[in-house]
Chains A and B, each alone.
Chain A
Amino acid sequence: MTDEVTTEEEATEAPHPAPSETERRQLHDMWASGTEEPAWVVASTAEGAQLMLPRDQATGEDVAGEGGTLVVDDRLFEDEAAEAETTILNMGPQHPSTHGVLRLQLELEGEVIRRVKPVIGYLHTGMEKTGETLTFLQGPTNVTRMDYLAPFHNELCFSLATEALLGIELPPRAEAIRVLMTELNRVSSHLTWVATQGMDLGAVSMMIYGIRERELLLAFFEKTTGLRMNHNYIRPGGVAADLPDGWEEDVVGILEGIPKGLSDYHDLLTNNPIFLGRTQGVGVITSEECFAYGITGPPLRATGVDWDLRKTQPYSGIEQYEFDVPLGENGDVYDRYTVRMEEMVQSLRIVSQVLETMPDGDYRTTDLKVTPPPRKRIDESMEALIHHFKIFTEGFKVPAGEHYQAIEGPRGELGHYLVSVGEAKPWRLHCRTPSFAAIQSLPIMMGDQLIADSIAVIASIDPVLGDVDR
């Protein structure tokens, strides 16, 4: 990459203080009269070398990567694009359709997108570094905040990785509760996606409907875990608490309520000519490109690749439940839509089987190394009190080793890579998040499409920026 920076950035090395009232007025006048803004104003949004280069400075590699033609060159009008006059448009970081603080730089030729460069990091909070300062027992509180629409999946992945290092087995009830919660979470995540997908394409009532049905699930999550999001419910060694009394009725209510909502969505969207026109053939990605860019989950299955980690590399005993893996064909926005809509039905199918076959027993392992003594014992025994205190202050030591655990999150493969050196805190926690890979593939899906389609494409990969930036 070149180190050439534009003169504007060089001129602004000294940080400018916050604008005074007079300066603000001057700025407004400049904006109103179309005068060029002073350099420090430009610098306030500058990301330096992370930004897209103008076409006359960009190398062929930049153009191929940002144009999405590195793997499969399906560009239609490359020659014209090179000579035509193009504009770089900034979309974001504050933009309603980017699902968070995502900034996209679009090179436009008229209304057609020629190059895309995602600029990310606005939500980076150093959660991997934070993970190194928390014990294995505290770890789920950290990772649950990454993908805030699928908190249970993050907790489950972290817990499975820790348990693999510890080498402990879980009682069947704990595993069944984990499957129940993660599959319900998959439905709630997909409901948020269908709500925003609809809203981004102009079906604003879809937003209300999706959130309405999701409320059923969040109410159940709150009843079970105490919180609507960021539960810290699935922990190394099992789950934090048993299911509440009367959970069966709640789940039956969910199993009845969500399908009604789904049929509403089908009425509203599936055969809606506007929706079809805006999604079919839009944002196409091939399975070859998915492999090269690490795209997993619904976008991969929409290209027709039968790959679901719940089937191929099962975890938490999910292999004992019957479900199908819905597949698409064309890899476009519409196929991602149909795949996710069907996935919700399949997840509910798993939930109904869990409801019928929920085993009795412990909800966490009886391994005293990771499980504190029961509350009642603490009143009777000094040793139990010390034991409890030690687990929650020092934490438990995890044998040295490294492990990569992957599960099928709602957005694709969610992987946690843990390195332990035999202490109570992980030496390194790395989270391989599906949204990060998906954001990187936006140029492929958006190249040579209209700018209005970019909104449909962003919604269809269902990015969570907390998951991207971590």
Chain B
Amino acid sequence: MTDQMPTPDEETAPEPAAPPVAPHLAPLAEAFPEAKFEQSAAGQQVARVESGRLVEFVQAARDAGFEMFIDLTAVDHYRQRSGPRYDVVVGLLSLKHNQRLRILVPVDGDVPSAPSITDVYPGANFYEREVYDLFGIDFTGHPDLTRIMLPDDWDGHPLRKDTPVGAVPIQFRDTNKVL
């Protein structure tokens, strides 16, 4: 990007419309005008959706041909951005169109919460349990939200960025902080 002032010609040029959406995504883009469709540098299709409409969006995506559930995970953008701290990342695949779709859902809070998509894709069950276990993100409506990788009595959520690697609690300090 250049930091020059735009010339008058550029100002009068029609401002770029929403990024062109592939035909198989057109019904989704129409039904969810607030969802942001974008392409990553390597050309992968990404959609940013608010958590309130995630289940509807995923349902519509399945109806639009994304029949296969591939992946569900989360990213902790701790101190990396000003907005919500976590992204829940849902990966879908359309065999019919030979396309992938990655849905990013920002969530925030001490006990971040996102709706469960197990009603649409039952395969998300274990994946949501894993994210609940390792990130502490609560999936409302999940049929069996328990830890899956770690024991039930484990303290904390290791994949959060504020969980250090290889820390030991220090005794005889006035705080219970781990170093």
Contacts and interface: CB of A to CB of B under 8 A. Distances in A.
Interface in B31-60: 40-42, 44
Contact of B144 (A62, A165, A295): A62
Contacts of B151: 47-48, 121
B148 A293 contact: no
A239 B138 CA distance: 41
Contact of B123 (A47, A59, A292, A401): A292
A447 B70 CA distance: 23
Interface of B is mostly: loop
B70 A432 contact: yes
B106 to A, nearest CB: 14
B158 A61 contact: no
A469 B150 CA distance: 10
Contact of A294 (B68, B144, B150, B165): B68
A1 B148 contact: no
Given A133-B165, A167-B41, A307-B95, A70 B122 contact: yes
Given A421-B80, A432-B91, A440-B126, A293 B69 contact: yes
Given A413-B70, A415-B91, A403 B80 contact: no
B158 A291 contact: no
A118 B119 CA distance: 20
Given A417-B73, A430-B73, A124 B149 contact: yes
B153 A121 contact: no
Interface residues of B, number: 41
Contacts of B98: 312-313
A428 B75 contact: yes
Interface in A45-86: 47-50, 59, 61-62, 65, 70-71
Contacts of A128: 134, 159
Contacts of A469: 149
Nearest to A118: B126
A437 interface: yes
A120 interface: yes
A129 interface: yes
B69 A401 contact: no
Interface in B51-89: 67-71, 73, 75-76, 80, 89
Contact of A1 (B44, B73, B145, B150): B145
B20 interface: no
Given A48-B152, A437-B123, A291 B147 contact: no
Nearest to A126: B158
B143 interface: yes
A165, A399, A436, most chain B CB atoms within 10 A: A436
A251 interface: no
Given A65-B125, A167-B41, A440-B123, A129 B159 contact: yes
Contact of A47 (B75, B95, B152, B158): B152
A177 interface: no
Interface in A130-170: 130, 133, 164-165, 167
Interface residues of A, number: 54
Nearest to A428: B75
A404 B69 contact: no
Contact of A419 (B75, B146, B150): B75
Nearest to A49: B146
B165 A129 contact: yes
A133 B167 CA distance: 14
A198 B142 CA distance: 38
Contacts of A48: 146, 151-153
B143 A305 contact: no
A386 B70 CA distance: 43
A403 B152 contact: no
Nearest to B145: A1
A265 interface: no
Interface in B112-157: 121-123, 125-127, 134, 142-153
B100 interface: yes
Contact of A417 (B67, B76, B89, B148): B89
A351 B41 CA distance: 32
A427 interface: yes
A403 B123 contact: no
A293 B123 contact: yes
B95 A1 contact: no
A308 to B, nearest CB: 11
B174 to A, nearest CB: 26
B80 A427 contact: yes
Given A62-B144, A164-B42, A124 B150 contact: yes
Contact of A402 (B40, B68, B147, B152): B40
A428 B73 CA distance: 10
Contacts of A427: 75, 80
Contacts of A312: 95, 98
A403 B42 contact: yes
Interface of A: 1, 47-50, 59, 61-62, 65, 70-71, 120-121, 124, 126, 128-130, 133, 164-165, 167, 290-296, 305, 307, 312-313, 399, 401-404, 406, 413, 415, 417, 419, 421, 427-428, 430, 432, 436-437, 439-441, 469
9 contacts: A48-B153, A121-B147, A126-B158, A291-B67, A291-B68, A295-B123, A402-B75, A430-B73, A437-B126
The 4 A-B pairs at the shortest CB distance, nearest first, are namely A48-B152, A293-B123, A124-B149, A121-B149
Interface of B: 40-42, 44, 67-71, 73, 75-76, 80, 89, 91, 95, 98, 100, 102, 121-123, 125-127, 134, 142-153, 158-159, 165
Given A167-B42, A294-B69, A469-B149, 8 more contacts: A1-B142, A49-B146, A62-B143, A121-B147, A292-B121, A293-B121, A402-B40, A427-B75
